Structure 1
Amino acid sequence: MLKVNNETKVGILTVIAIVLLVLGFNILKGRSLFSTKKTIYAVYTQVNGLQPSNAVMVNGLGIGTVQSLEVMDQRAGRILVTLQINKNIEIPKNSVARISADLLGTRKVEIDFGNTEEVLKNKDTIYAAVDGSITDALKEQLSPLVKKLETTLGAVDTLLLTVNSVFDTTTKHNIRQAVAGLNGTLNNLNNATRNINGMLADGGKIAGTFDNFNAVSANLKNNNDKISNILTNFDKASGSLAGGQIDSTLASLHSTISRLNEVAGKISSTDGSLGLLMNDRQVYNNLQHSLGSLNKLLEDLRYNPWRYVHLSVFGRKNKVVPIPSDSATAQ
């Protein structure tokens, strides 16, 4: 029996390991060494994060994988993407290979079929396009909002500067004083509210007032008949006055006033005695002199009655007593 030395065994194992490594690397890269596929190229200006082994899809069906990505110039302005497509799939020449992404951000190459009869052959180049990413869409949607937000923030900043310039130290002090005054007003309002609650409570002033009002209302209700009689009498009196008694009363009053005017006219004139007395000074003086003489006579009659009535039993002659008015005149 042929013996295999250890060096041969190690060599065989090394070859097997290398073959398995190559196969595994190609499988991980999306390459298949045993399947028959055709290669199609696409040139992109930017690949949006596309990686080898990403899927190539047609109408949602996977028909191949991305084999490799190569930079065609030093600035990476053009990127050559190699696609491995199943040979059984015929792709029209005017088709477009678009790089797109799903909601999770996984990149893929989506081929939109054209309408020409000519198909792409092995190692042909397909038209390339790149869809905007979700981030780009969000940026496009948010860009106007960002501009509006910047404008709003600028306006708010201007407003804050204006407020800071208006609310200087004096204004802030005045605001503090106003707030303190407002606190005092609120305290007074609370006290007033408590007082009102006390007045509204049972036994309070307002409750007593309502009790008195209820009592008055009850009295009015109890004396409703009397009030009705009073109103009836007042209505009768109003009817009587409206019936003509006011006219006759006013006529009598007018006649009385006319007579009073006549009497006043006579008093003001010098025709009557009263008029002479009020208007003629000589008549007044004579009357005053006569009243003075009458007073003297009455005084003399009181002090010397014997001069007018002579009653003497023994024939004694009485002494004349001077009257006070004469004594006052002499002094």
Structure 2
Amino acid sequence: MLKLSNETKVGILTALGITLLVLGFNLLKGKNLFSHNRTIYAVYKQVNGLQAANAVQINGLIVGSVTNLEVKDNDASRILVTLTLTKKINIPRNSVARITGDLLGTKTVQLDLGNATEYLQNGDTIYASVDGSMADALKEQLTPLVNKLQGTLSNIDSVLLAVNAILDTTAKGNLQNAIRNLNATMHNFTQTSASLNGMLDPNKGNIQRTFNNLAEVTGNLKDNNAKITGILDNAEKATGALANGNIDKTLQQLQLTANNLNQTIAKLNTTDGTAGMLLNDKKAYNNLQYSLGNLNKLLEDLRVNPKRYVHFSLFGKKDKTKPLPSDTAVAQ
């Protein structure tokens, strides 16, 4: 049996340790020494925190990893990123390697495949692109809002200056008076609301009593429904009797009477009849007055000298009488 010295054993263990160390280090960097991978390169102006071992994806599928990042030609604006592809996928030459990040800040290289018919080979360089960071996106969204806020603050400042210019001592006093009047108005409104609540009280409010009275009235109407129906029936019978009566004949007779009365009044307004002459003829009126005057004289003479008209004589002697002046009078 072959015996190994201690020095040989130590050497073998040291070689194995170094080998495992190198393999582990490369595995941590995303390199696989036992597979035939392809390597492509991309040059970025900035990498937004991209690190070695970050995944390389196509449509969400991990197809490799970032194996190295270094500054090219000592120019910080040219960063060479080495991408190791572990899956056999044809990548068109016009594809783009785009650095993206999620909400947690994890960076990935997203390969956006083009439509070229030629494909990248091992060691070729792919077009590079960088998505904006979350801070850049927020800045892009917030910049218009900040500008609007600045404009709004400027307008508010102008308004406040205008208000300070308007609100002089007199205006401030008027404003205080207006506030006091508003307080008084609110107090009155509170009292009015309290009064309204009292009126709406279901136990002793005026509105409730009104509704109770209305209910009583409607109840009485309901109780006297038969009487009301009888009154309406009687009214209907009365109107029917009037409708069935000789109203037309009565109206015709009334019209005839009115016509006769008009004719009589028309005759009275003329001198055709006796009554018309008495009303309208002045001579007839004067003659009537004259006759009445003579009658009055006769009656007066009869009262003063009754013997002239009525006398008794035992001897049959007759007194001579004189003719009355009225016998010879002629009506004027």
TM-score bucket (shorter structure): 0.5 to 0.7
- Tell me the distance in 1 between the aligned counterparts of 2:151 and 2:238: 79
Offset at 1:37?
3.3
Task: Answer whether contact 1:67 1:84 (CA < 8 A) is retained.
Answer: yes
CA-to-aligned-CA distance 1:104-148 (integer Å, 9 cap, x gap): 6543223325524364333x32221224567766776x5698489
SS of equivalent to 2:77: coil
Determine the structure 2 residue equivalent to 1:266.
279
Pick aligned residue for 1:171 from 154, 164, 178: 178
SS of equivalent to 2:118: coil
Pick aligned residue for 1:239 from 243, 248, 251: 248
Determine the structure 1 residue equivalent to 2:95.
95
Q: Is 1:46 equivalent to 2:46 in the alignment?
A: yes
Distance 1:268 1:103, change over 3 A: farther
Taking structure 2 as the reference length, the TM-score comes to: 0.61
**Gaps (5+ residues) in structure 1?**
298-331
Pick aligned residue for 2:195 from 188, 193, 197: 188
Task: Answer whether contact 2:94 2:114 (CA < 8 A) is retained.
Answer: yes
Q: Is 1:207 equivalent to 2:215 in the alignment?
A: yes
- Tell me the distance in 2 between the aligned counterparts of 1:257 and 1:158: 97
Alignment of 1:87-236 (within 5 A): 91-101=91-101, 106-111=106-111, 112-113=113-114, 115-117=116-118, 119-122=120-123, 124-132=124-132, 142=141, 146=145, 150=149, 168-193=175-200, 194-201=205-212, 205-214=213-222, 217-235=225-243, 236=245
Distance 1:36 1:214, change over 3 A: closer
SS of equivalent to 1:125: coil
Distance 1:218 1:129, change over 3 A: same
Task: Answer whether contact 1:30 1:52 (CA < 8 A) is retained.
Answer: yes
Offset at 1:90?
5.5
Determine the structure 2 residue equivalent to 1:84.
84
SS of equivalent to 2:39: strand
SS of equivalent to 1:77: strand
Task: Answer whether contact 1:92 1:116 (CA < 8 A) is retained.
Answer: yes
Distance 1:2 1:54, change over 3 A: closer
Determine the structure 2 residue equivalent to 1:32.
32
- Tell me the distance in 1 between the aligned counterparts of 2:289 and 2:150: 108
Higher mean C-alpha deviation, range 163-172 or range 36-45:
163-172
SS of equivalent to 1:84: strand
RMSD between aligned alpha carbons? 5.0
What amino acid is aligned across from residue 41 of structure 2 in structure 1?
Y
Offset at 1:48?
3.3
- Tell me the distance in 2 between the aligned counterparts of 1:60 and 1:138: 25
Task: Answer whether contact 2:44 2:81 (CA < 8 A) is retained.
Answer: yes
Task: Answer whether contact 2:64 2:87 (CA < 8 A) is retained.
Answer: no
Distance 1:158 1:268, change over 3 A: farther
Task: Answer whether contact 1:269 1:275 (CA < 8 A) is retained.
Answer: no
SS of equivalent to 2:247: helix
Distance 1:253 1:110, change over 3 A: same
Task: Answer whether contact 2:44 2:78 (CA < 8 A) is retained.
Answer: yes
- Tell me the distance in 2 between the aligned counterparts of 1:158 and 1:139: 26
Identity of aligned residues (%): 38
Task: Answer whether contact 1:41 1:83 (CA < 8 A) is retained.
Answer: yes
- Tell me the distance in 1 between the aligned counterparts of 2:158 and 2:218: 56
- Tell me the distance in 1 between the aligned counterparts of 2:223 and 2:158: 64
**Gaps (5+ residues) in structure 2?**
270-274, 305-332
Offset at 1:265?
6.3
- Tell me the distance in 2 between the aligned counterparts of 1:225 and 1:92: 106
Aligned residue pairs, count? 280
CA-to-aligned-CA distance 1:141-171 (integer Å, 9 cap, x gap): x569848974996699589969997994333
- Tell me the distance in 2 between the aligned counterparts of 1:72 and 1:274: 159
